[in-house]
Each structure stands twice: as C-alpha cells, then as structure tokens.
Structure 1
C-alpha cells in the first residue's frame, strides 16, 4: 500500500484535482484529492522536504536533502529533469508564473534558477546563512528569498543580480510570500509577521513561537500562518493592514511546517502520520478521518537491562513491547531513576514515558534532555525550540519539580549534555554554550562554534564535551572552551552523537544511515558502518553489553559494536 512511513514535511495542492506530499521517508506521493487515495509515488535519495505544482498542474517540483530538486510530469510522475548544482539540502523550490523556470532555495546559502531541462540559469550569491524560502513576484520579474541570516533579499529574474537587501534585525526568517501588489509577508522566529511594502514596514505579533510557514491565496485575499506554538492563524490581506479573522489549535498529529489551499474552503496539512489532514477554514472544522501512525524512531536508550524507543507515533516501546503512549511525536527519552523516565516532543509537553502523564507544558516543542546530579539531587535539563533550557529536580517522593527556565540560546536548542560541573548546549544558530550546573549562570558562549547548524552533543568526562552538526565535523571541547575539529567521512549532515561512560569512544550517526565511531585515545576512527539507507535519528551507549544502539527513521534499532581493540 502506498503511504508515508515517516512524517510529511511538505504538501501542495492543485485546484480540486491533486494533492502532493513530501516525506522524511524520501517518498513523494501524489493523491487524488476527491478520493484521498494515492495515485502514484516516487523516491528521492534522501529526505523529501517540499513540493509544488506548476501553474497548470502538469508538473511537480520536489526539493530534497539529497541536494537536488527534481521535476516530474503529472500524474505519471515521470522524471523530467534533475536540478543538482546545490552543495547542501534544497529546502524549497518554486515555479516561475509563466516561463519554464524553477527557483531553488538551499542550505548552501544560495538561490538558483534553472530551466526545465535542468540547465542552470542563475546562481544568486549574497546570503550568509541557509536560504529557507523563495517566491516569485506576480509578474515573474523578481525573486524574493528569506534566510537564517535574518535578511530578506530581492533578486532580478533577468540577471540574477541582487536588487534589495532588507535587514530584519538578525531574526531568522523561515518563510516569505509575495503578494500581487509587491507586498512581502515574512514570518520570523519571534512569531512575528513582517509586512514589507516598498519602504514601509509593519510588524504584527501573531504567535508565541517561531512561524514555520506562511501560505498566501491572492484570489481569496487570505494568508495562513503556522507556528510551533501549535496555532493556525488566518489573516485578511484585502487591506494594507493585516487583520486576523480566524484561529485554530492544530491537532496533535499535524506538523505545522507545511500547508496548502485546496478545493473550495479546504486547507491541507502534512502530518506525523501516513497521510495528510484537512481543515475547512470557513466552518473551522478539522477532518476527523483516521491518519495512520508511522513507525520511525526518534530516540533510543538502554536502561535497566532493557532497550527503550520512542518516535513519530509517540509510542514508547520497551524491548519492542508497548510501554507507554504519549499521543504525538516525541524527540527524546531520558531515564532519571529506576522508576522515572521522561519524554517530550512537538506538543511542548514533558511526559512520563510509562503513563503519558503530562508533567509540564512549555510554549514550544521540546528537542532534547539530559540527567545530571547537583548536591546529591537528580536534575533534568530539557532543551526547547524557543531557546530555553527547562530545569527540573527529582524530589525524594519521585515527583518532578520545575525549578527554572534558563535562556540557553536565542534559537532552537538541538542538544544538551552534562560533564564535570557544567551544562553544555548546542543551537540551530551554530552556537554552543556552557552553564554552571549549580547556579545555572552562563559561564561561556561561542556564537559561531560550528560552520552549519549544530545537531547534537554529549558529555565525555571531567568537563569535556563533543558536538556534531551539518558541517560534517566532530568537535571535541576542552574544559578551557577550546576545541579540536575532527574531520569525518559522513556524506550528509551528522544528526546525533553518543559516548561510552569513559568518554573514550564517540559514536556519530548521520541522516544517510552511517554510524562512525571515533577513539579519542587512539585519535582515529575505528568503526564505520552503514546499517540502513534511512537516517540515524538517535544514538545511545549500552554499558551492559558494551555497544552502541542506533535508532533509525526506518523503525529499527541497530547494534553497533563499541570496541577499543
């Protein structure tokens, strides 16, 4: 049966005929909109991030972390062209309104324009960080891009030259759309919509967390904003000033990363499940059709002689048997005691992994967690999408007490670790930080510690740490805050890192299914395996068996020998 096996990252609609979905299982699926049945599917070589139909609905462009965008005919999904000049993930692609041109936005910091044969027309250089979003002006004479560098840029479609550089105060901006009259709407990490019309600029506070997607329907004069605060806001764009006319909480299985206007009054959304979900924005009703869960694993850990996992479905497994259910995608598992293990994820809820009981509610998704001890008391640090570190103390009666929220970073916390008397964290903005575990005060910060997004970290011993990221490097951090950069042979972004108890062996796992182990004492890589073609989502060391556990988006846990021989 054709269905997604990992979350749906991107979605597109063509009138009342087709829906296309792009998934983290590398699949792109074409659906009949009337029956909601799959029509066809194709595969990328890595995560499929977004998709878009041509204005006449006869073509589909898909964007992938395999560094390519691809052009397909509809509905047979025959490959027409490959756009492969990118040196990093393609986040988004957009059709020219009339010409046979396609623009791509890439994490290699560049905007590119291709013709339908795959020939590169322009490479537009100017952004200093990942380019996340791209749109054409209504007349096709200009392009506009948004980037993690906190700027919006206008480009000439004819020459590829930079026409205007709009500084948004350094706030990362994930999404931008262009209205027919030239007005730009940009959604930033502060939950704001910045309205740019010529020299005029207005900022509208819409959300309590970063805006992940703006979708404009010019013919309806409607703008949709989606945020990790799990709100959908509907805006009237018929006047110069944005006016909010609707709001809805987002269902637990919907990923507020993508949205499209479909037939009549319908919006379609990607989910953490096997198919998409719809919303009628006039009645304010979400579809109640069942969306089957997907089996991907996002976290694995060994504890008390058992192996625990949790993933897209929010189901906690203990040695492959159901141990608990949380109701939505979870990102981490952290054992605190023989009887207490916690998890959390997209809903911003910290939960008991066995019972699903909500222990704390935060305003944004929770990404990672680490246990640490201070003055004989067990503590927990949880990293949030909005940059906070949530600190908890495990009381003697087994209850978890919320102590404080610490401003670790200004962007998403991707990893947290503990060693010596220090807490260490890495951020999506490439920065790292050290905080005193006892006082929670900032000790040191490096703003550009990695060359690309930092994805994970681990404590080694005696104040030493390791971190990894999209720059394909392993960084070993000394107690004096200096680092040694260890090159890797990972071909794609390194997603996760773990170490044995001594801190000698460090395992790294990539989005392309590779696990590579570095021996600090011998200063060399000792193990290189690729147990799966799917991504490695999580790594954990099993001290009882002396091996590493590698959780994968393909729903499997792979055992990787950890050896010093």
Structure 2
C-alpha cells in the first residue's frame, strides 16, 4: 500500500478531488480525496518540503531540499519539468493565478520565477536570510515573500525589482497568506498574526508559540493558523481583521507545519504518520482517519540496559524491543542520575523507562543534556520557543528548578562542559550559561552563518557545534571558534564526541557520517550508510563506536578509525 514512511511536511488540496502530500521520506503522493486512497507516488532526491496544485488542478509543483522544484502532471504524476538554479533547499513553490509561471522560495535567500519548461525568468535577490514562504498577489503582477530576516518583500515582474520592503522588527515569519483584496496575513515566531493592509500593520496575539502555517479559504472568508502550541485556530476575515471563530487542539499525530482547505467544510493537515488527517470545521470535529505510524528514528542512546531509540511513532525501543509508549513524536534522550528522559512535539517530558509524564511545556522540545550542580544531577531541555528547562534529581523524583531564556528562537542543541552550559539556536546564535548560578555569561549572536543544528561538550569548557552552513566549529574557553570545513554538500544535522573527545562525529540530512580527528585536524572517516538523513548521533563507550539513528528507522554503527597514534 502506498503511504509515507516519514513525516508529512507539506499538503495541498484541489476542490474535493485530490490531496497531495510531501514528506521527509522524499516522497510526493497524490490521494483520492473522496476515498482516501493513494493514487500515485514520486520521489525527490532529498526531503520533499511542500507541494501545491495549479489553479486548474492539472499540475502539481513540489519543493525539495534537493535544491529543486519539480512540475508534475495530475493524476499520473509524470515529470514535466525540473525548476533548477537554486543553491539551497527550496521551501515553497506556487503557481501564477493565470499565467504559465511558478514562483519559488529558497534558503539561498532568493525568490525565483520559472516558466513551465523550467526556464528561469526572474531571480529576486534582497533577503538577507532564508526565504521560507512565497505567494502571488491576486493580479499576478507581483510576488510576495517572507524570510527569516524578519521582512516581507514585494517584487515586481514588470520592473524585476523590489517595490516594497516591510520590516517586522526582526521577528521571523514562516508563513504568509494573501487575500484577493490585497490584505496580507503573516504568522511570526512570537505566536502573532500580522495583518498588513496597505501601509498599516496590526498585530494580533494568536498563539502561545510560533505560527508555522497560514491558509486562506477565499470562498469561506476564513483564515487557518497552525502553531507549535499544538492548536489550530480558524478566523473569520470577512471584515479583513481576523476574528476568532474556532479553536481546537491538534491530535498527537498532526504536525502543525502544513494545512489546506479541501472539499466540503474539510481542512486537511500533514502528520507524523503514513497519511494525512482531516478536520470538519463546520461540525468542529476530526474526521478520525486512521493514521498508521511511521518508524523513522529521531534519537538513539547507549544506555547501560541496552541501546535505546525513539522516533516519529512515539515508541521507545530497547535493543529493537518495545519498551514504553510516550505517545508523542520524541526528539532526544538525556540521562539524569538513574533516570532517562525524552520529549518532543507535545511539549511533555517523559520518563523513558516508565513512559510516565514529568512536566508539560507550552511548546515542543528539541534537545537535552545532563550536568552536575550543587552536588546533584541536573538536566536542561531546550525548547522550540527558546527556553531551557532545568530539572534536578531528588529523593522525590525529578523536580523542576528553573526556566532559562537561552535564545529568541528555537533551541537546537544543548551541551555541558567545564563550568558552562552551552546552547545553539535556529537563529545561528550560541550562548554560555554558568552551571552554578544559572546566569548568562556570553552570547554570540551570529555564531553561525545559517541555522545551527547541534552541539556537544568537549571537556574543560570547550564545545563543538554544527550548522546548515556546512561548518564544524570548535569553541575555546575564550568564547571564540575555530571554523573547520566539512566534506558535506547538504546540511549537517547532528554531532557527538568520543569519551576522550579526540573524535567528533557529525551526521547529515542526506545520510553521511563523518569523523573528525582533533589530534590531526583531519576528517579521518566518511561513510554514507543510508540515503535517508542521520537524525542523531551518540557514542557507545562499551563498543567504542558512534551510533547514528536515521529517518529510515535504522541505527548505524560507525567505528573510530584505527590509527597509529
């Protein structure tokens, strides 16, 4: 049976006929909306991020981290054209309302316009960070883009120039939606809706965490917002200003990254499972589609009781045997004395060995690391909203200690070394906090040229970090970095160090694992055990190997090179 093997990151619907989904398994799938059955499937060379139907439903465009957008016929999904020229991931592509053109948004900071033959007609440069979202205005003579640089820009096809630059105060916007009357709705990382009507901008507090996707139902005069606070809100925009209409909590399998208006009164949403989910906004109920889990792994840990892993299905495995079911996609493991914790999309911290919840946060959880303070074992957990949640092991169990503001954006990695807690963020920054009094010591705002994805402690107050900029950085005790080139062509996802910290392993989104030798300052090993991404790395001191978990559901060992040193 055709389905996804990884999370669905993008979704689109055409009337009540078709639904298309794009996934982190590189797949693009066309579904019969009436029966829910898959009709066709095609595969990109890397993550499929988004997909969109043409206005007449005869074509589909998909956007991928393989640096391309691709044009497909519907319903057979025959490849019609490859929209190339991109120098980084393509996050979104949209059809012109009437002409044979497609606009794309790329993490190379550019907006491009192509014809249906794949010829690039325009390349708009002006954003200073990743372009995440793009839309056409109603008349089709302008392209509107939003970026991680905190701006929304208008581009004219006639002049080939930027005609408006809207500064949102540096707050990142992942999504925009445009009404035919010209009003622009944007969602930012502060959980706000921004209504741009001519020269006026109005902010509406909408969610407790970042707004990740907006969708407009033009005929219905409705706006949908999805947030990492695990809610979906539907707004009446008949007056132009969004007024609350419906609010619902998202089922645990729904990934609040994509949604679309479909037939009847249905909204379709991407999930962490094999197919999409549906919601009826008139009846205020979830349709109850059975969404089979996928078994991609997000984290692996070498525990004394065995090798433990967890992933999209929210099932904890020990040596390939089911251990517990937290019931939520989980992203990390962190030991704290005799306990092990995990957490993820629901914002709940779980005890791995019992599956019981310990703490509820308002946004998803990304990473964690243990450290010792006041002669007690502690752990800090990094969140999508920039906080570090500190806990300690006590006679009563695991107690909440403090909430630290680590970053203004998602915390992508935390590490411990010497007297410091170190963290890196999606905004490229890094911070040092003092373990003893939990106070901020240092922040480097532009520590990385792109999103930082992880870090590891190297002992004696030193750290290493990795980023989408394809660099490995070694941070010394004076808060400066040695920048090391890597052998990769795609984003680095994860990092780990050996017990003696001589060896640093890094894993990429396209399945490579490389090992850097700090003593010789060379890359001593490079392997590609899978075409799927390496989601996390850990060092197993018992077997003296690195272990990488993968989105394909497997864990791969990578041995330390044998040297004469």
TM-score in same-fold range (> 0.5): yes
Q: Which of 516, 520, 534 is equivalent to 1:536?
A: 534
Equivalent residues of 1:10, 1:258 under 8 A apart: yes
Q: Secondary structure at the match of 2:459?
A: coil
Deviations 1:443-489 (A, max 9, x none): 11100111110000000110010000100000000010111011011
Once the two structures are TM-superposed, the CA of residue 303 in structure 1 deviates from its matched residue by: 1.2
Q: Which of 397, 400, 403 is equivalent to 2:398?
A: 400
Residues 438-457 of structure 1 correspond to what in structure 2 (within 5 A)? 438-457=436-455
Once the two structures are TM-superposed, the CA of residue 305 in structure 1 deviates from its matched residue by: 5.1
Q: Which residue is 1:63 aligned to? A: 63
Residues 371-450 of structure 1 correspond to what in structure 2 (within 5 A)? 371-397=370-396, 399-450=397-448
Equivalent residues of 1:335, 1:371 under 8 A apart: yes
Deviations 1:201-260 (A, max 9, x none): 111110000000000111110000000001111111110322111110111100000000
Deviations 1:106-127 (A, max 9, x none): 0111000000000000000000
Q: Secondary structure at the match of 2:180?
A: coil
Once the two structures are TM-superposed, the CA of residue 375 in structure 1 deviates from its matched residue by: 2.6
Q: Which residue is 1:31 aligned to? A: 31
Residues 129-148 of structure 1 correspond to what in structure 2 (within 5 A)? 129-148=129-148
Equivalent residues of 2:82, 2:118 under 8 A apart: yes
Q: Distance in 2 between matches of 1:383 and 1:116?
A: 43
Q: Distance in 2 between matches of 1:41 and 1:240?
A: 39
Equivalent residues of 2:336, 2:392 under 8 A apart: no
Q: Distance in 2 between matches of 1:425 and 1:469?
A: 13
Once the two structures are TM-superposed, the CA of residue 61 in structure 1 deviates from its matched residue by: 0.1
Q: Which residue is 1:348 aligned to? A: 347
Q: Which residue is 1:265 aligned to? A: 265
Q: Does residue 486 of structure 2 align to residue 488 of structure 1? A: yes
Unaligned residue ranges in structure 2 (runs of 5+): none
Q: Distance in 2 between matches of 1:464 and 1:560?
A: 24
Residues 221-300 of structure 1 correspond to what in structure 2 (within 5 A)? 221-300=221-300
Q: Distance in 2 between matches of 1:243 and 1:289?
A: 29
Q: Distance in 2 between matches of 1:305 and 1:326?
A: 19
Deviations 1:62-108 (A, max 9, x none): 00011100000000101000011111110100000000000000011
Q: Distance in 1 between matches of 2:278 and 2:241?
A: 28
Equivalent residues of 1:15, 1:262 under 8 A apart: yes
Q: Which residue is 1:19 aligned to? A: 19
Q: Distance in 2 between matches of 1:200 and 1:369?
A: 42
Q: Which residue is 1:191 aligned to? A: 191
Q: Which residue is 1:362 aligned to? A: 361
Q: Distance in 1 between matches of 2:442 and 2:373?
A: 20
Q: Secondary structure at the match of 2:257?
A: strand
Q: Distance in 2 between matches of 1:393 and 1:66?
A: 42
Q: Does residue 462 of structure 2 align to residue 464 of structure 1? A: yes
Q: Which residue is 1:526 aligned to? A: 524
Q: Distance in 2 between matches of 1:558 and 1:551?
A: 6
Q: Distance in 1 between matches of 2:242 and 2:323?
A: 47
Q: Distance in 2 between matches of 1:59 and 1:130?
A: 27
Unaligned residue ranges in structure 1 (runs of 5+): none
Once the two structures are TM-superposed, the CA of residue 564 in structure 1 deviates from its matched residue by: 5.1
Q: Secondary structure at the match of 2:290?
A: coil
Q: Distance in 1 between matches of 2:2 and 2:261?
A: 23
Equivalent residues of 1:94, 1:136 under 8 A apart: yes
Deviations 1:273-319 (A, max 9, x none): 00000000011100222210000000001010511000000100000
Q: Which residue is 1:513 aligned to? A: 511
Once the two structures are TM-superposed, the CA of residue 438 in structure 1 deviates from its matched residue by: 1.2
Q: Which residue is 1:152 aligned to? A: 152
Q: Distance in 1 between matches of 2:441 and 2:347?
A: 27
Q: Secondary structure at the match of 2:327?
A: coil
Equivalent residues of 1:519, 1:564 under 8 A apart: no
Q: Which residue is 2:100 aligned to? A: 100
Equivalent residues of 1:70, 1:83 under 8 A apart: yes
Equivalent residues of 1:8, 1:271 under 8 A apart: yes
Once the two structures are TM-superposed, the CA of residue 563 in structure 1 deviates from its matched residue by: 3.1
Q: Distance in 2 between matches of 1:100 and 1:387?
A: 42
Deviations 1:1-41 (A, max 9, x none): 21100000000000010000000000000000010000000
Q: Distance in 2 between matches of 1:131 and 1:454?
A: 17
Q: Which residue is 2:476 aligned to? A: 478
Q: Secondary structure at the match of 1:460?
A: strand
Aligned length: 563
Deviations 1:343-394 (A, max 9, x none): 0000000011122211000010000000111132100000000000000011
Deviations 1:485-508 (A, max 9, x none): 110111100000000111110000
Deviations 1:414-444 (A, max 9, x none): 0000000100000000000100011111111
Which aligned runs of 4 or more in structure 1 are off by greater than 3 angstroms?
none
Residues 282-321 of structure 1 correspond to what in structure 2 (within 5 A)? 282-304=282-304, 306-321=306-321
Moved more, 368-377 or 207-216: 368-377
Equivalent residues of 2:299, 2:309 under 8 A apart: yes
Q: Secondary structure at the match of 1:29?
A: strand
Q: Distance in 2 between matches of 1:486 and 1:78?
A: 42
Moved more, 233-242 or 309-318: 233-242
Equivalent residues of 2:9, 2:255 under 8 A apart: yes
Equivalent residues of 1:305, 1:544 under 8 A apart: no
Q: Distance in 1 between matches of 2:375 and 2:237?
A: 57
